[in-house]
Chain A
Amino acid sequence: MVKEHTFAFFLGCIMPNRYPAIEKATKFVMEKLGYEILEMERATCCPAPGVFRSFNKFDWMVAGARNLCIAEQLDADILTVCNGCFGTLQEINKHLKENEEHRIQVNEKLKLLGDYEFKGIIDVRHVAEVLGYEVGPWGIEDHIVRKLNLKAAIHYGCHFLKPTRIREIESSEGPTIIEDFVEALGIESVRFKEQLTCCGAGGGVKAYSGDASMTIFGEKMKNIDEVKPDIILDICPFCHLQFETGQDYLNKNKECNYDYPVFHLSQVLAYCMGMDVDFIGLQYQMMGRDFIFGGEDVKKEEAI
């Protein structure tokens, strides 16, 4: 039985190495909500499903299982903040629990990497799913000190919900988990055309063909721009990176003029739960730097 209300915090790559403010915000939020967050020492890249799974699926499973073993040794479920990490670790975890033949093969190769053995005793969770279903919009009300009043274009990304039969969270064709949750924070979700399509970064496409990636992303931005949201809200640092650098690319190369601030769900929630606005990290981002959250105080509580 794994420890309750405790998570092994899987950082991944882009969050700690590009957007550390998302890491800060996630830790802040989870600890305020009463969860214990454990560090996963010696973890590596998940490894990224788009690239490493494409090169060698077996090694991808072994490297993923190594990360899972680190959490197993901590006796805690994994918390991921990124759709890519979630995709990799959740899928490998589920697959190795079910497939004995692969589990034996993976464990055999794991011995080469150190004292690791995949046992299959933990689950892998995504912060959006923990917030949306475990904490819930009903449970967050007591914890928020500020309520926002803004319109957000919500981007789910691909690997949070799909493949639905492996993730088993909710339908990928009309999900509402994030909309329902952020409504409690005073955020209105604005629907836009082709809302659930890919940001164009995944599958190794961003590295393989920047042009193709930016064409897919350009269409996405065009649809978002039609509804003029106040912010773009994502749940994945890789999508986050794509929205940030992509807007800049389109402005410089495709005669666009976008300046939408991009926030991870953790960042917005941390603000609503009273984190100092300097820690939200907008000053480190490229887009929408003039944006001011505003909103109203719900009740008095000390900010950190």
Chain B
Amino acid sequence: MSDVEEQQKNREFKTDDDFDTEFFKRIENRSNIMKCIQCGTCTASCESGRWTALKTRSIVRKVVLGDLSVLDDPDIWLCTTCYQCYERCPRDVKPTDVIMELRNYATKRGNISPNHRAVVGYLKNFGHAVPINDEVRKRRVELGLEELPPTAFKYKQEGDDKDLKKIEKYMFDLPPVKEEKKGEEK
């Protein structure tokens, strides 16, 4: 068998199961995705895509087709939300919002990196995505500020954790870590 034939044989073709036309209809509520003419202004303006594999135009196309593989695509997590595509899109597709929606769906399916899981944990425990440390507590005192800022965490330290308890209970519920994904995630 020639190389070409070998490649043809091993090539994965998409089947009907990979497409879900209902899927993008829900995304459409938020953006004008059907107006996309694939001009590529988004990819050309992309500040992350210049250095990474993120190709916004291709992601938008997959969403239009209802290709669900896009939800497993790690590239959707490389968008820095700089909004350059959003600003320049001549069809007002709002690609940044599309990527945000995709991430929401990916998260529901459990496609969320361990680092991002940790950030959610910080919010639930400390009320901050970036919690304070001993060094900064010291600096705050030296600067004449309160040792702890008057945020929910300060009240938790003082024994009043009702705010953070509620946030922990009701906010940002994440699906459990997928078994087969363990170890292979970045």
B107 touching A56 by the CB < 8 A rule? yes
A216 touching B48 by the CB < 8 A rule? yes
In the complex, which residues of chain A have a beta carbon less than 8 angstroms from the beta carbon of B143?
Answer: 20-21, 24, 279, 281
Assembled-state Cα–Cα distance A112/B118 (Å) = 24
Assembled-state Cα–Cα distance A212/B133 (Å) = 27
Assembled-state Cα–Cα distance A53/B77 (Å) = 12
B87 touching A163 by the CB < 8 A rule? yes
In the complex, which residues of chain B have a beta carbon less than 8 angstroms from the beta carbon of A114?
Answer: 162-163, 166
B48 touching A45 by the CB < 8 A rule? no
- Does B104 interact with chain A (Cβ within 8 Å)? yes
- Does A50 interact with chain B (Cβ within 8 Å)? yes
Assembled-state Cα–Cα distance A18/B78 (Å) = 25
Q: How many residues of A contact B (CB 8 A)?
A: 61
B130 touching A17 by the CB < 8 A rule? yes
Interchain pairs with CB closer than 8 A, number: 195
Contact digits for B128-158, partner A, Cβ 8 Å, 1 yes 0 no? 1111110010011001110001111001000
In the complex, which residues of chain B have a beta carbon less than 8 angstroms from the beta carbon of A209?
Answer: 52, 77-78, 186
Assembled-state Cα–Cα distance A112/B151 (Å) = 19
Assembled-state Cα–Cα distance A41/B146 (Å) = 13
B172 touching A54 by the CB < 8 A rule? no
B151 touching A43 by the CB < 8 A rule? yes
- Does A207 interact with chain B (Cβ within 8 Å)? yes
In the complex, which residues of chain B have a beta carbon less than 8 angstroms from the beta carbon of A45?
Answer: 123, 127-129
Knowing A47-B129, A162-B87, the reply to whether A16 touches B151 (Cβ < 8 A) is yes
Q: Which residues of B contact A (CB under 8 A)?
A: 47-48, 50-52, 77-84, 86-87, 96, 100-101, 103-104, 107, 112-113, 115-116, 118-120, 123, 127-133, 136, 139-140, 143-145, 149-152, 155, 162-164, 166-167, 170-174, 186
